[in-house]
Structure 1
Amino acid sequence: MSFPPSFLPNLPFTVVSASMHFRSLLFDFLRWTTVCLLGLSGPWLLNASADEPEISFNQDIRSILSENCYFCHGPDENNRQAGLRLDVREEAIDYAAIVPEDVDGSELVARIDHEDPELVMPPPDSHKTLTEKQKELLKAWIAQGAPYEEHWSFSPIRRPDVPDLTKWDENVEGKNVHPVDAFVRARLLAKGHDLSGPARPDRLLRRMHLDLVGLPPTWEETQDFFSRTQEMQASDARSSLIDQKLDELFENPHHGERMAAFWLDLVRFADTVGYHGDQNQHIFPYRDWVIEAFQNNMPFDEFTTKQLAGDLLPNPKTDDLIASGFNRLNMVTREGGAQPGEYLSKYATDRVRTVGMAWMGLTTGCAECHDHKFDPFTAKDFYSLGAFFADIEQWGVYSDYGYTPNPDLKGYNNNFPFPPEIEVTSPALLREQTQAKQELIDLARLQLAALSDDQKNSANDWLNNVNGWLEREANGWQSLPMTSAPPKDKNLKAWTADSESISLGSLPPQSIQVSLLPAANQSPQNVEVRFYIEEIKPPATDDSEPEKSKDEKKEEAKPNRINVAVSFARANRWLPSFSSTVAQQNVASRWSVPATDAAGRAVKQRPHQFMIDQSKHADDPMRAVFELAGPLQLKEGQSLVAEIKGLAGDTEVTFEASPLIRMRPFDAAELEAIQICDSISQPNALLSWMMSNPKQAKDAGAIKHWRDRYLACRDGRTWTMVTQATEPMEMRVLPRGNWQDKSGDVVEPATPAFLGSYGTETAKEANAKDAEAKRLTRLDLARWIVHRDNPLTARVVANRLWKQFFGVGLTAAVDDLGAQGDPPSHPELLDYLAIELIDSGWDLQHVTRLILTSRTYQQDSRVRPELFEIDPENRLLSYHPPRRLEAEIVRDNALAVSGLLNLEIGGPSVEPYQPDGYYSNLQFPNRSYRSTAGDNQYRRGIYMHWQRTFLHPMLANFDAPSREDCVAIRANANTPQQALTLLNDPTFIEAASELAWNMIEQKESDETRLRTMVRRSLQRDATSEEIERLTNFLNQQRELFLADEALSVQLTSIGQSATRHNESLSPADRAEWAAWTATARIVLNLHETITRY
């Protein structure tokens, strides 16, 4: 079939396939014939009935068209078929696809009802179909005149009137009703229903605690709240009590941790860089800043500005720079062979996607390759938004491989950090250092009380020896005489011990590698230092050398235990990859003898690596000090050899020895304490004696643990990545997102055209007065985002807060407020909360309080079967939606119930127990995982180490995101792995074991202890049936473990806390502990335990 060219309208269309081409021709023809026939077909017009309910375009129609039609007939002009747009009313009418109030005359209706596969819309090859209900909605909407509405999230925010509920029922409360309840109940009452009754007080308190703090209340708190609620029958009194409880929870020091977890998903916070080797990065101070910001209720506009442009603020403070670390959270690489241009493009597009979703609630990433197919967001908008971040100092590949010259990163390898960074003081590290020192002093006092007379004599002898040493060496360290080796390719120096001591046997070489970084554009000087023991060859007889007297030998004698340090001059900063340290205050860095395998062979150990920057502050009086992890013992005839490779220039190197192991090298205060003390009872002196003589100390392991933690804190100093502005890179529109295609237009920073400028034009004019500031900056972007006229930000934040407390947002698609997202279930309520947020000065706690004081939030969580038919997904909010706890809170809850949870706030990430070999495929560098020792093992989940490519199995099993991308909605799956994790993960077994031990220590009846266990775990009383079933299970487990001692030992030995209870346990006592542990595992694995009702 063919038509004369003059018969067809001359309309543009895109040929995408033969069938699509044919459909396009047919559509043009049918459109033309339909227009011609309209004048003859008046009787075919169908008018809307006055009895039909009014159809809303935003609520009922937009999602149908967006899902099924906009891909080919939407905003993307490059993909538009037959030139038809259905997202613009005028164009849809012009094409006769829609004829207002004429259903039969609308080509859209003809196409959706057509049976011919070549004509039906959507076409079969789109794999989309309309339901009969959707077709009827479209017809009814056209019959009512096909009114369009501006997309709800792009329209200005206006304060809506609070509904008057007496419209539906004169007996319902009128104007005094809570505004949130008024909007929710209006929809329910219109359908003949209302909210559920109030939740039980114990359940409500648990809900509030988990929502605002992320931890369950104690049983005592639950009892108190329950009894006080029961005493207050009047609703006003109950509301006052809840207000008081909200005040307590807002002021709880852990409120910030709970609120921060959601934000860290959005900004893709992680401890590793993601790409290729997924190396560690320094960024935990940013997490601490976010937690503190939420804890102090920082206004959201300020919170936004500091993250996007903290470095651009006038006279930025250290906290502002830490906050700017947000811009550095994108994944980066230092893979050899990677193309810098490609990765710079990846970094830029990732920032646009993140800002678009986190603040604008839009899928901006869809415009990276072409104009957005559903929203009016163009590719030019995408790259113009990315241009705001073109001034961030960054590298496409964070190293210098020759083919990608990066002089600033010369010598950087996989163990090095990702600049720019600044050194900051961490309050969390300072607190931990204070704790560690106090623990050491307490250990010293305990040791003092336990010393025998012989030990006290030994200690005093040691003290006298030390004081004699200090009379000769004021700073406690004696410079070692050097014996130069014969000239070779390396410079070898050694110190010979001439005192008797216990033999060490063979000592594997211990080494550090130091890179001395000179002025810019010069290669670093790499120096490697290795220590090892070497047998001394008998020296050749030299008659000219006079023999030394015995007194001279005695004067030269060294203590039989020595500590050795090597100092490099001109060290002004540290850039370690692991725990090694080069510090301005001379904090020690230590390295240990490698472990040995079963055959006694030394396990290969990589050198510790440092960067010492000599190009800055070259004349500052600073030193880098490296100290062996423990004292060496040399027998006569052995020497300690320090082998130095690559040393050149005027860098000074000295070797020193001391009989002391102190908190840090050159600790003057401690030396003074040793010199002036009269006896070993002085705590600091005793502490030094114990650390220098660990075999004399009963708690040598604890001493080493706390000293290691003290040193790791580095006086609270740490490094963190920050944003530094530099000359902006050129930003172009990349056709199809191809970073190699430079044919696209160059763009300047600009906000999306369809949303308006909101003051950025004024800012640009002001900037233009400064010759060096003629473009918009990230600071302008931040102010635009939180401008009160911006229709998106306040809605996005309010919707996200609602989701946080109800599990689903007022618009379910929290990550997409565009055309593809769901319309709000209560649009007026969303706007009401958004305008409250803006008018309150962006006060998040104000909106949170508004939500949590409503009956809608406080109602019962039992489902309403009578509403399943009209509201299967509970979008009308007739009951409070229960949901499973998030991954981190599942873990926190178990640890809190058991009593193990460490509630310290802030600081570095910790590494919980993890399956052996889980990191076996991590390379560049190879990784070995060592779970955190001590009480830091039990820190909250928000502080868990976040390895992007190998996320901790517990986090992954409970749907935590890898944070490779911005995530606004976590999955909420229900899988067997979750139950297996709760039963078998060492953390949960250890929590059950500790809970069981606490129950055993109560010395009560089984029933009393079981009731206590349920109260601690569920914050409610157990029923008689539950107690009976738990008792039967407990007795079964007693029989099992009494019959199998090995099984009880295996279960009660899991986790480091188990060692505290394992001493002198009889087989029967251990079996009892194991039986209670098995019972606690069941309680902690209950659905109710990990669910928030």
Structure 2
Amino acid sequence: MPDSISYNFNIRPILSDKCYKCHGPDASKRQAGLRLDKPESAFKALKDNPAAHVLVPGSPEMSELFRRISTNDTAEIMPPANSNLKRLTPHEVDLIKKWIKQGAKYEKHWAFVPPKLWPVPEVDNKEWPKNPIDNFILKKQEQYGIKPNPEADKEHLLKRVSLDLTGLPPSLEMQDRFLADKSPDAYGKVVDELMKSPAYGEKMALHWMDVARYADSHGYQDDNYRTQWPWRDWVIHAYNENLPYDKFISWQLAGDLMPDATKEQLLATGFNRNHKITEEGGVINEEYRVAYVTDRTNTFGKALLGVTMECAHCHDHKYDPFSQKEYYQLYSFFNSVKEPGLQATVGGPETYAKRPLMQITNADVKSILKFVNKKDTGKLIVSVMGDSEVYRKTYILKRGNYDAHGDEVQPGTPAAIMPFNNALPKNRLGLAKWLFDKRNPLTARVFVNQTWQELFGKGIVKSSGDFGMQGDLPSHPELLDWLAVDFMNHGWDMKRLVKQMVMSATYRQSAVLTKDKMKIDPDNTLLSRGPRYRLPAELVRDLVLASSGLLTKTIGGPSVNPYQPPGLWENATSGRGILASYKQVHGPDLYRRGMYTLIKRTVPPVEMAIFDASNRDQCEVKRLRTNTPLQALLMENDPTVLEAARVLAARLLKDNTQAKDKITKAFRLIIGRTPAEQELGILTAYYNDQLKTLNKKDAQKVLTVGEYPITPGVDEVLLAAMMKTVDTIYNLEEAITKT
């Protein structure tokens, strides 16, 4: 029982779960005219008994709420027996009783109150914390009588941080160097090395591609090609250069409106042109133009504010304090973009980007846009932002219908978050300034939470796209606030934030799950152990290619078409445009990182979809994570995995070592650690068994996969046996799991 009862963290979750069905924000289901989510209603006299009050501050016995939840009279108990809602537990009843005793104080929703720099807590175990993050985490663990795990061994820790910071497994050279380094700052040196790698920008950009709904096609039925990849090159560059988050976002929102805007700032605005665009003749122009503006508004709310603004598109938000009028005030910031609903139907290169657009010349690539990987001399155009010279009026759209104009509205922001300062320009640049006002309660919290999610598997707020009334409460609210304020106070430095997290003792813990922790902390909410979960789809591919030596490390450039089962595109296409049929690439492009696989929205890459990648139809701040038999079947049959096993096997056979040494090397390359004696024994026995059972004809059949050439004169039986052994290692659960 807390000393001080919080409405937000102790009481509202109970009311939402047990009471709001009949006494909440939904007017159509409300009973007795009573709302418990609004203090002005909860403190009023009862409609059918004016002498009684639901809440009497300081007096639980006089409060009808307490009397009804604590009675044993089945005619009066709340929730009613016929409501299909569970009765409040004794602990929940006690919480409400103590809350009423303490004054029954309602609070503004926690996420709409500006974060504050909470004092770093004192803890009993003063040896464990490595930075302030750990004090917040350990304080809560000590309250629950649980201890953190010891630090992971160096092999597991190196694999974890390498995958988190670069998306690639550590090389053997890095493994050997880190294991041999006995200095106290050995781990810190590795972290700095990884963060300086060009692959760092690629890994960090991967999450932002989901947020920004980046794809290589326009979407809808025709789903023709688009040339938006230079914007992706910019995102990678921005992360590697450690562009501060306020600039990173402000350029994407309003780079075209910056004073003396550069071409780089203009290119950054491609963020807001990544949405689906129709190329189908016969559509209603205004209907689709409104759809594009709606997409940008919804993306802004979810990606940057962590709220479900889209719920107010057709009516006032049912749960959060956002009116439909406020939705269209926010919408108006994006409503003057100089774009039609339909520009042109499917055609040649002139339709690969839609107005407003910018052309990237060879001179640009040699000067201000050096990070754009443009190899040919052809015309390269990208969709960017640009407002019309004439301001477009914005109206509330009745029930969200594009042609049902209601009252006119002016640019503005939800007052419950932070009213818009009218001294700011009423355009996207002003909106960016509003977003990064340090009094804004959401901006820093939302990004800090997404960063935490990418490193620990889930956010401090589990519902990372919903900080509103129906979202999850933060597991460590003071830590979230502390990180948010600290982030703002240090210049919105993204690399510093990431390093702060991976250097913590919390991050470095072993992922071992004991019986006690399974009982007390099954979901790892208390962070009493290290993260353990399957890699994202793109990183599964990256691990296979990197460990085999096949990976092409080129940064940026156009997306590519690797291996894909035949007929997928052809059976789901209008038959127009260059994406009507699938044209596989060859040579080095066949072995590019997963983030460069071309995404056609109507037929997303099958191997990515099986591992839960986004098809990029809309903004996504958190991927699902499933475990299905299809994933195991893919790892067993994907030509990329089989080819990688063959190529790595051929390289191992060149070593003048014994079979068990070759298998140990493969295991370290793929799993990131030295195999245990039992593991090595099983794999070596399997290899020897394959040598005995494979004949030359069977070996040739096994080896006929992938385009990478086989070294002439190689012993095919030997190669096939080693290939099958390596493939077995790729199919271990640990291979594609971050531990």
The answer, yes or no, to whether TM exceeds 0.5 is: yes
- 683, 700, 704: which one aligns with 1:1049: 700
- 714, 731, 735: which one aligns with 1:1085: 731
1:178 shift after superposition: 2.1
Q: Could you say if the C-alpha distance between residues 392 and 115 of structure 1 is closer, same or farther in structure 2, counting changes exceeding 3 Å?
A: farther
- 717, 729, 735: which one aligns with 1:1071: 717
The yes-or-no answer on 1:87 pairing with 2:37 is yes
Partner of 1:97: 54
Secondary structure in structure 2 of the residue aligned to 1:745: strand
Give ranges in structure 2 of 5+ residues lacking alignment.
Answer: 46-52
State how far apart, in whole Å, the 2-side matches of 1:908 and 1:206 are.
Answer: 29
Partner of 2:356: 420
Query: Cα deviation per residue 1:336-372 (whole Å; 9 max; x = unaligned)?
Result: 3322222222222211111001110111111111111
Query: Cα deviation per residue 1:683-724 (whole Å; 9 max; x = unaligned)?
Result: xxxxxxxxxxxxxxxxxxxxxxxxxxx9x9323752211112
Partner of 2:576: 925
1:951 shift after superposition: 0.9
Q: Could you say if the C-alpha distance between residues 874 and 413 of structure 1 is closer, same or farther in structure 2, counting changes exceeding 3 Å?
A: closer
State how far apart, in whole Å, the 2-side matches of 1:117 and 1:923 are.
Answer: 63
Secondary structure in structure 1 of the residue aligned to 2:572: coil
- 158, 166, 171: which one aligns with 1:205: 158
Q: Which has the higher helix share?
A: 2
1:224 shift after superposition: 1.4
Query: Cα deviation per residue 1:484-543 (whole Å; 9 max; x = unaligned)?
Result: xxxxxxxxxxxxxxxxxxxxxxxxxxxxxxxxxxxxxxxxxxxxxxxxxxxxxxxxxxxx
State how far apart, in whole Å, the 2-side matches of 1:1060 and 1:804 are.
Answer: 39
Partner of 1:975: 628
Answer whether contact 2:551 2:593 (CA < 8 A) is retained. yes
State how far apart, in whole Å, the 2-side matches of 1:948 and 1:121 are.
Answer: 49
Answer whether contact 1:75 1:371 (CA < 8 A) is retained. no
Q: Mapping of 1:345-356 within 5 angstroms? A: 345-356=290-301
Amino acid at match of 2:525: R
Amino acid at match of 2:730: L
1:59 shift after superposition: 1.9
Answer whether contact 2:275 2:292 (CA < 8 A) is retained. yes
Query: Cα deviation per residue 1:976-1004 (whole Å; 9 max; x = unaligned)?
Result: 11111111111111111111111122242
Partner of 1:762: 423
Secondary structure in structure 2 of the residue aligned to 1:422: strand
Q: Could you say if the C-alpha distance between residues 362 and 66 of structure 1 is closer, same or farther in structure 2, counting changes exceeding 3 Å?
A: farther
1:903 shift after superposition: 0.5
Partner of 2:50: none
State how far apart, in whole Å, the 2-side matches of 1:721 and 1:163 are.
Answer: 49
Amino acid at match of 1:1051: V
Partner of 2:460: 810
State how far apart, in whole Å, the 2-side matches of 1:124 and 1:737 are.
Answer: 39
Partner of 1:181: 134
- 549, 555, 563: which one aligns with 1:913: 563
Q: Could you say if the C-alpha distance between residues 922 and 180 of structure 1 is closer, same or farther in structure 2, counting changes exceeding 3 Å?
A: same
Give the length in aligned residue pairs.
Answer: 723
1:794 shift after superposition: 0.4
Secondary structure in structure 2 of the residue aligned to 1:763: coil
1:430 shift after superposition: 8.6
- 730, 741, 748: which one aligns with 2:393: 730
Partner of 2:473: 823
Secondary structure in structure 2 of the residue aligned to 1:265: helix
Q: Mapping of 1:646-795 within 5 angstroms? A: 713-715=375-377, 718-726=380-388, 727-742=390-405, 744-757=406-419, 760-764=421-425, 776-795=426-445
Secondary structure in structure 2 of the residue aligned to 1:204: helix
Partner of 2:679: 1026
Answer whether contact 1:155 1:791 (CA < 8 A) is retained. yes
1:796 shift after superposition: 0.5
State how far apart, in whole Å, the 2-side matches of 1:101 and 1:382 are.
Answer: 39
1:858 shift after superposition: 1.2
Partner of 2:448: 798
The yes-or-no answer on 1:146 pairing with 2:104 is yes
Q: Could you say if the C-alpha distance between residues 888 and 118 of structure 1 is closer, same or farther in structure 2, counting changes exceeding 3 Å?
A: farther
Partner of 2:48: none
Query: Cα deviation per residue 1:224-245 (whole Å; 9 max; x = unaligned)?
Result: 11221xx34xxxxx2x333322
Amino acid at match of 1:288: D
State how far apart, in whole Å, the 2-side matches of 1:885 and 1:862 are.
Answer: 18
Secondary structure in structure 1 of the residue aligned to 2:382: strand
Answer whether contact 2:354 2:382 (CA < 8 A) is retained. no
Partner of 1:11: none
Partner of 1:214: 167
Q: Mapping of 1:254-333 within 5 angstroms? A: 254-333=199-278
Answer whether contact 1:63 1:822 (CA < 8 A) is retained. no
State how far apart, in whole Å, the 1-side matches of 2:83 and 2:220 are.
Answer: 35
Query: Cα deviation per residue 1:592-631 (whole Å; 9 max; x = unaligned)?
Result: xxxxxxxxxxxxxxxxxxxxxxxxxxxxxxxxxxxxxxxx
- 486, 496, 499: which one aligns with 1:836: 486
1:223 shift after superposition: 1.8
Partner of 2:282: 337
Query: Cα deviation per residue 1:832-867 (whole Å; 9 max; x = unaligned)?
Result: 110111011110111112212211111211113213
Query: Cα deviation per residue 1:119-171 (whole Å; 9 max; x = unaligned)?
Result: 87667998654553655544553354433222211112211111122xxx3x7
Answer whether contact 1:864 1:879 (CA < 8 A) is retained. no
Query: Cα deviation per residue 1:911-970 (whole Å; 9 max; x = unaligned)?
Result: 111010011221151711011111011111111111112111110011111111111111
The yes-or-no answer on 1:365 pairing with 2:323 is no
Residue identity over aligned pairs, in percent, reads 39
Q: Mapping of 1:585-596 within 5 angstroms? A: none
1:1020 shift after superposition: 1.2
Answer whether contact 1:430 1:713 (CA < 8 A) is retained. no
Answer whether contact 2:217 2:601 (CA < 8 A) is retained. yes
Q: Could you say if the C-alpha distance between residues 427 and 211 of structure 1 is closer, same or farther in structure 2, counting changes exceeding 3 Å?
A: farther
Between 994-1003 and 835-844, report the one with greater CA deviation: 994-1003
Partner of 2:588: 935
State how far apart, in whole Å, the 1-side matches of 2:399 and 2:69 are.
Answer: 32
- 389, 397, 403: which one aligns with 2:342: 397
State how far apart, in whole Å, the 1-side matches of 2:77 and 2:277 are.
Answer: 47
State how far apart, in whole Å, the 1-side matches of 2:264 and 2:364 are.
Answer: 15
Amino acid at match of 2:387: A
Partner of 2:126: 172
Q: Could you say if the C-alpha distance between residues 113 and 795 of structure 1 is closer, same or farther in structure 2, counting changes exceeding 3 Å?
A: same
Secondary structure in structure 2 of the residue aligned to 1:245: helix
Answer whether contact 2:228 2:353 (CA < 8 A) is retained. no
1:396 shift after superposition: 1.4
Give ranges in structure 1 of 5+ residues lacking alignment.
Answer: 1-50, 233-237, 401-408, 435-709, 765-775
Between 418-427 and 263-272, report the one with greater CA deviation: 418-427
Answer whether contact 1:381 1:752 (CA < 8 A) is retained. yes
State how far apart, in whole Å, the 2-side matches of 1:179 and 1:413 are.
Answer: 53
Amino acid at match of 1:322: L
The yes-or-no answer on 1:1007 pairing with 2:670 is no
State how far apart, in whole Å, the 2-side matches of 1:144 and 1:312 are.
Answer: 51
Answer whether contact 1:306 1:324 (CA < 8 A) is retained. yes
Answer whether contact 2:227 2:352 (CA < 8 A) is retained. no
Partner of 2:121: 163
Answer whether contact 1:307 1:323 (CA < 8 A) is retained. yes
State how far apart, in whole Å, the 2-side matches of 1:932 and 1:365 are.
Answer: 39
Answer whether contact 1:259 1:291 (CA < 8 A) is retained. yes
Q: Mapping of 1:339-488 within 5 angstroms? A: 339-399=284-344, 417-425=353-361
Q: Could you say if the C-alpha distance between residues 1041 and 879 of structure 1 is closer, same or farther in structure 2, counting changes exceeding 3 Å?
A: same
What is the TM-score with the length of structure 1 in the denominator?
0.63
1:412 shift after superposition: 8.6
Secondary structure in structure 1 of the residue aligned to 2:269: helix
Amino acid at match of 1:342: E
State how far apart, in whole Å, the 1-side matches of 2:652 and 2:364 are.
Answer: 33
Partner of 1:948: 601
Amino acid at match of 1:749: P
Answer whether contact 2:338 2:387 (CA < 8 A) is retained. yes
